[in-house]
Amino acid sequence: MNSSNSLPMVKQTIKSLKSAVSCGAVSVGLTLALSVVPAVSMGQTTDSFVLVTVQLNLKPGKVEPLSKEVLENALKETRRFEGLIGLEVYAEQGADTILIVEKWKSRAHNEKYREWRKTSGFGPMVAPYVTGPSVVRYFDPRPE
């Protein structure tokens, strides 16, 4: 699939997140930070999936260095992991926060990936950039 097929999903994701922000449910205002090509279009239809958000709270001025020095290569590995449908990266406007939005075939696929990440050396690579542990949230799709 080409990246233009994912545009409606990106717009819907941003719209949903902005709505959550305005309701106070999520405390991030987002803007697209990195140009990423999803493993498969985020808009791909599946019987079921789970949307996972990973929030990285960064030290001041570390958004760009983390993006270029760590995430660029690390996310290539993530995109090859079994069960990943798509992945997008955002940076909060006016703050040092990265939000990774992932679409997985199931929570079990993501949990297997997260266990692998614990042994992949990712933690020590990210440690100099972050202020604490990442915040991971799981979302199920709902009819509109």
Look at residue 47 in the predicted model and tell me its pLDDT.
Answer: 64
Flag whether pLDDT at 11 surpasses 70. no
H/E element, 57? strand 50-57
Query: Comparing 105 with 143, which gets the higher pLDDT?
Result: 105
What are residue 51's DSSP bridge partners? 103, 139
* Contact present, 83 and 104 (Cβ < 8 Å): yes
Q: Identify the sign of the CA torsion 113, 114, 116, 122.
A: positive
pLDDT band at residue 37, thresholds of 50, 70 and 90?
Answer: very low
117-127 tens-digit pLDDT:
999 999 999 99
Q: What is the 3-state secondary structure (H, E, C) of 44-81?
A: CCCCCCEEEEEEEEECCCCHHHHHHHHHHHHHHHHHCC
107: Cβ contacts below 8 Å, ≥ 6 apart: 50, 52, 138
Query: What is the pTM (predicted TM-score) of this model?
Result: 0.68
d(Cα 51, Cα 15) in Å, to the nearest integer?
A: 15
* Contact present, 101 and 90 (Cβ < 8 Å): yes
Helices assigned H by DSSP within the chain:
7-22, 63-66, 72-79, 107-119, 122-126
